[in-house]
Amino acid sequence: MKTAKRFYKAVTTANEGNRFAVLLDERKLKTPGKLPLVTSSKYIAKLIAAEWDAQVEKIRPETMPVTRLVNVSIELTPDNRDKLADEAKRYAGTDLLCYRATDPTGLTNRQNELWNPVLDWAAEKDITLETTQSVIAIEQNPDSLDQVARYAVKLNDLDLTLFVHLIAVFGSAILAMAVMEKHLSGQEAFTLSRLDSLYQIEHWGEDEEAAETAANLEAEVIALCKILE
């Protein structure tokens, strides 16, 4: 893939009424689909600007997670809100936190100790999910799954985009919701989503490529969760 060279010197933000744009020199930043890249938050505009300013000789989109997420929230999310809410609901139906290992005891104890409190927190939000040690999917309470969908549709476009992205990263609608509600940090939720892998790493080690992939994904989650600040 051909990488574009950095073609601008200064990156700034500009107030446009109640919206904020990012300027590369004097040129307003647009989405890949040529829509204006604007946000209602000056803080988020500054996050985007910081990503563009951090580019050196070449522009590397993979190092700009906030920009990419905002692009999606502008171009795709508005016409797909119901689909995204349904996606969140589907994930909750097979949520990572609900499927527990049968052994070893050290892992099962760790899952119970660290995952159960998050499910208890969700139950306080009227989302009660059952757990199982079976590999066969269990049927969850439809009212609880509907509550996940209702939560999703109440989010604005950017937050909904972030919510569904975090769900996919964690494999858990509950962990993603806990981050959105600031019950957990993005880093905490990412660690909880990797309990099984981390347990295996403790006992068997980890290859360099897998470690790098996990580190990059964790860094992306932390960067994206700055949106919630």
Fold of 11-63: ATP12-like (3.30.2180)
CA angle, residues 74, 66, 158, in degrees to nearest 5: 40
- Note the pLDDT of residue 177: 98
pLDDT at 1: 47
CA nearest to 85, candidates 36, 146, 144, 127: 146
Residue-wise pLDDT for 63-86, tens only, equals 999 999 999 999 999 999 999 999
Backbone phi, psi, residue 16, to 5°: -125, 80
Residue count of the chain, please give it.
Answer: 229
Report percent pLDDT > 90 for the chain: 90
Please tell me the distance from the alpha carbon of residue 40 to that of residue 28, in angstroms, as a whole number: 15
Residues forming a β-bridge with 132:
99
The CA distance from 226 to 49, in Å, is 14
Query: Over 90: is that where the pLDDT of 212 sits?
Result: yes
| Residue 193 pLDDT grade (very low, low, confident, very high; cuts 50, 70, 90) | very high
Q: Is the pLDDT of residue 2 over 70?
A: no
Q: What's the Rg (C-alpha) of the chain?
A: 20
Mean pLDDT score of the chain, rounded to an integer?
A: 95
The more confident residue out of 181 and 208 is 181
User: Which architecture does CATH list for 78-228?
Assistant: Orthogonal Bundle (1.10)
3-state DSSP call for residue 47? helix
In Å, how far are 38, 40, 46 from 17, measured between CA atoms? Answer: 11, 10, 16
Mean pLDDT of the 196-222 span: 92
Reduced to 3 states (helix: H, G, I; strand: E, B; else coil), residue 137 is coil
- pLDDT tens digit string along 27-37? 999 999 999 99
What pLDDT, on a 0 to 100 scale, did the predictor assign at position 206? 81
Distance in angstroms (rounded) separating the CA atoms of residues 20 and 2: 30
Residue 60 is given by DSSP the state -
pLDDT at 207: 85
Residue corresponding to tokens 């860094």:
219
Domain residue ranges of the chain, discontinuous segments joined by + = 11-63, 78-228
Residue 20 dihedral angles phi and psi, to the nearest 5°:
-130, 130
Enumerate residues 6+ apart whose C-beta is below 8 A from 9.
Answer: 25
The predicted-structure confidence for 78-132, as pLDDT tens digits, reads as follows 999 999 999 999 999 999 999 999 999 999 999 999 999 999 999 999 999 999 9
pTM: 0.95
Instruction: Say whether pLDDT at 135 is over 90.
Output: no
Cα separation of 213 and 59, whole Å? 21
